[in-house]
Structure 1
Amino acid sequence: MSKKNTDESGLEIIETPEALAGQINKAEVFFIKNRKIVLGIGGAIILAVAAFAGYRFYIDGQEGTAQDALASVVYDFEADSLQKALNGSGGNEGLLSIADSYKGTDASNLANFYAGVALLKQGKYDDAISHLQSFNSSDLLIHARAQSLIGDAYLEKNQPAEAISFYKKAADYEKNEYFTPVYLMKLAIAQEKANQPADAVSTYKRVIDEFPLSSEVVNAKKYMGVLEGQVGK
């Protein structure tokens, strides 16, 4: 007969070879009864793995082409030739084409960022927001920068509530003494435009208290003083 003990957690522990054999037999019976289901699940897993491997092979192949295309168009972007950068020129693909044609590649992802910046400069705020939201990065500087730019676009659209949301994301992401104060100042300005003077005062105070060596402190003190007079603090 099989012999089982129970451990302190209340789970049954199999100790004898007979008991182990019994469990194996149960597994065999289950497999026989459910053979189609088990094989179907196994086949689905194999197909999923194969599909993923094929996808990665395809993406890796696309990456080199996309990077070459992006390298060519970045020169136009840096020269502030925004229309050429976005739409391409001289047979070169533009940022919009790279972002759309090579989805899943790092180059496409970065093209979305560049395109968002260019469109923002052109005053095409909705398109800029769309591309910047399609961009994803774990880089502590670029990710926060993208969130701040989305905030800029919403502020230009006179939607300060939405701008506040993205400025907060930028300011709270991997805080640092160089860029966080800038994002906080933008946040405070958006809060003023949203008629939230008390919140703006608190944000200006964060700049002063948390980043005393920042060049933004002078303006933070000035704007906070004006607001405190308005809200009676």
Structure 2
Amino acid sequence: MAKKEKVGAKKDDDVQKKETFVSKTILFFTKYNKFIYGAIIAILVVIIGILAFNRFYLQKQTEKASLLILKPIDEMMKGDSASVMLALEGDDDMDGFLSIIESYKITRTANIARYYAGICYFKLNDKEEALNYLLKFKRKEDIYWAECQALIGDIYDDLEQPEKAIKHYEKSVKASHNPYVTPVTLFKLGQLYEREEKWEKALNAYNQIEKDYYDEYEKMGIERFIDRAKGKLD
């Protein structure tokens, strides 16, 4: 009987606690309702503002920048130093990559322009400035990411920083299975591993070319590199 009384008392206590909590909650909202409603309205205003910004300003800026970037890309593709410099800096008739980055910095096009600016500096043999732009390129555009990481790897290799080169080559390989970029990057990775005397990793890179990129495998004569790496491991 005493046990039943304890259970009943516990239930009454739980009910009382719930009623107290509800009463306090109602009292809180009654006391601070203006502040709460004001906060909700402020949040809604911010959300609506962000949506309006994206819809009416950012979208128009992106569309405009997307058209402007076509000319410097065409100019850069000509390949000579004068054209590459013009693509980078622009002139009175054309916005260059640098001005697009500055004028449309919050757009995705500005991010793409960073990638192309890095290529231009690389072509102009300014490797430090090329790295400055390529390392700022954000992974929003997967179509360029693997190539960007491979180019960063090339620059670090040229600057005799093999560990950093390996890091970015590996990023490139993991990011894409591009039949034009990936096998070449794997080969460069294998060569770097050889120089660092990491023969097992070199063999893995060469084997991946043989396994996943058969057409390129024959063109690159990768078999002799596989045999050499195996020989070093025996």
What TM-score bracket applies, with the shorter chain setting the length?
A: 0.7 to 0.9
Structure-2 separation of matches of 1:210 and 1:72 = 36
Equivalent in 44, 47, 51 of residue 46 of structure 1: 44
What amino acid is aligned across from residue 74 of structure 2 in structure 1?
Y
Equivalent in 166, 185, 188 of residue 186 of structure 1: 188
Question: CA shift at 1:228, angstroms?
Answer: 3.6
**Max Rg structure:** 2
1:86, 1:95 within 8 Å by CA — same for their partners in 2? yes
How has the CA–CA distance of structure 1 residues 194 and 96 changed in structure 2, closer, same or farther, with 3 Å as cutoff? farther
1:148, 1:183 within 8 Å by CA — same for their partners in 2? yes
Equivalent in 89, 97, 100 of residue 98 of structure 1: 100
What stretches of structure 2 of length at least 5 have no aligned partner? 1-18
How has the CA–CA distance of structure 1 residues 110 and 39 changed in structure 2, closer, same or farther, with 3 Å as cutoff? same
Partner of 1:29: 27
Structure-2 separation of matches of 1:120 and 1:107 = 20
Question: CA shift at 1:26, angstroms?
Answer: 5.7
Structure-2 separation of matches of 1:107 and 1:178 = 24
2:119, 2:130 within 8 Å by CA — same for their partners in 1? yes
What amino acid is aligned across from residue 32 of structure 1 in structure 2?
T
* Higher fraction of helix: 2
Corresponding position: 1:83 with 2:82: no
Partner of 1:197: 199
* TM-score, structure 1 normalization: 0.76
Taking every aligned residue pair, what percent have the same amino acid on both sides? 28
Equivalent in 150, 153, 166 of residue 151 of structure 1: 153
What amino acid is aligned across from residue 203 of structure 2 in structure 1?
V
- CA RMSD of superposed structures (Å): 2.9
What stretches of structure 1 of length at least 5 have no aligned partner? 1-20
What amino acid is aligned across from residue 66 of structure 2 in structure 1?
Q
How has the CA–CA distance of structure 1 residues 65 and 176 changed in structure 2, closer, same or farther, with 3 Å as cutoff? closer
Question: CA shift at 1:173, angstroms?
Answer: 1.8
Matches within 5 A, 1:56-135: 56=54, 57-80=56-79, 81-135=83-137
What amino acid is aligned across from residue 73 of structure 2 in structure 1?
V
Q: How many residues align?
A: 213
Q: What secondary structure does 2:214 align onto?
A: coil
